[in-house]
A and B are shown apart, each in its own frame.
Chain A
Amino acid sequence: MAELAAETPLPADHAVLAQLGELRRLAIVPAFNEEASVGRVIDEIRAFDPGFEIAVIDDGSTDRTAGMAADRGAYVIRLPFNLGIGGAVQTGYRFAFEHGYDVAVQVDGDGQHDPAELPKILAPVLTGEADLVVGSRFAARGGDAYRSSAVRRVGIRLFASVVSAVVRQRVTDTTSGFRAVNRKGIALFAADYPHDYPEVEATVMCVKHKLRLKEVPVAMRERSGGRSSITAARSAYYMVKVLLAIFVGLFRRYAVPPEEEHR
């Protein structure tokens, strides 16, 4: 922890932890066949802050993902079949909404998100500066440390410019699933969350609903296990589908987030 504080002078870990105080906080961990990494993800979240409750959304895994998570005392929500990342993450937000959590973070079960970076995405939510905070691999200027295929990089850049134009705010990494939201964000995502490849649309949706978005630079790791759900073959489908969704979304009147007592 001391190391991290040295790397990132502000916000210091302990300051963020102090602000978390009595807030009820949930880590949503979507996992599809991640038995190799999900246990470590849970341990690392606890190592950052034992006060975090952890909900692992097992998206129809055929391996021991659910068992590994249950052994570590996380809440395990097992979907009866694979819904895809959007349906899985929304299940987590519904859980957070119905159980009255104040703050939720999304941490992928594949280990590419480093829970030691949680303070960076939590800080703007806790200070009330933003309703949704996205951890970006690219926000740091010049720092393109994250390695990925050329096709993916082109796609990521294209989405970044489209989304930046739509939300009238600079956005560099729209596909990042490393996010933190407050109660407003939880309520919105519990009520309405995009399917298939949801991150880009969720970002746009948030801004359309007048939630404040903030992007902060974070370091991400190489995947520690499992396979990426986005193969080269699916990239074209991904791009067309998401661009269509954003375009149609511009003409859509969004559902109002439900009242707190509404389920």
Chain B
Amino acid sequence: MTPLPVSIGAAVASFLLLLVVFELIRSRRLRERYALLWVLTGCVLLALSLWRGGLNTIASWFGVTSYPPAIIGAVGALFILAVLLHYSTVISRLSDQNTILAQRLALLEQQLREGR
């Protein structure tokens, strides 16, 4: 069974994550679109921390009997991987758009100079 302090600590940490994400959205420093994965991460981690019986059951599915909270760490790592991969696609899209903008700008500037 998960030690109670571990559950409390994990729950507080997950709740803090959700709070920080909420505050970032509220102050318009984080777009909802890019916050969704973080909110999902916070909610799943919070659920795993509070629902102690469930964590035990899930841990037993994977043969983790000695220390069920390891599952929280593993799930957290998976979600962080998902967030990172998502950001890689975002960066790729931004750099493609950036290239197109630079090309358009250069072509328009050239036209402007020729037209003078």
Contact = CB atoms under 8 A, between A and B. Distances in A.
Interface in B98-116: 99, 102-103, 105-107, 109-110, 113-114
A21 interface: no
B110 A75 contact: yes
A76 B113 CA distance: 9
Contact of B106 (A78, A98, A195): A78
A55 to B, nearest CB: 8
Interface string A85-103: 0010011001100100000
A195 B99 contact: yes
Determine the main DSSP class of B at the interface with A.
helix
B109 A83 contact: no
A83 B98 CA distance: 9
Interface string B72-116: 000000000000000000000000000100110111011001100
Contacts of A83: 99, 102-103
Interface in B43-87: none
Contacts, number: 35
B102 A75 contact: no
Given A87-B99, A195-B99, A80 B107 contact: no
Interface residues of A, number: 16
A230 B110 CA distance: 29
Interface residues of B, number: 10
B109 A78 contact: yes
A6 B113 CA distance: 43
A79 B110 contact: no
A41 to B, nearest CB: 19
A76 B112 CA distance: 12
Interface in A133-153: none
Contact of A90 (B103, B105, B110): B103
Contact of A87 (B102, B105, B109, B114): B102
A80 B99 contact: no
B114 A79 contact: no
B90 to A, nearest CB: 17
A87 B105 CA distance: 13
B51 to A, nearest CB: 41
Per CB-CB distance, the 10 closest pairs between chain A and chain B, nearest first, are: A91-B103, A77-B110, A79-B106, A77-B106, A87-B99, A80-B102, A79-B102, A78-B106, A83-B99, A80-B105
Interface of A: 57, 75-81, 83, 87, 90-91, 94-95, 98, 195
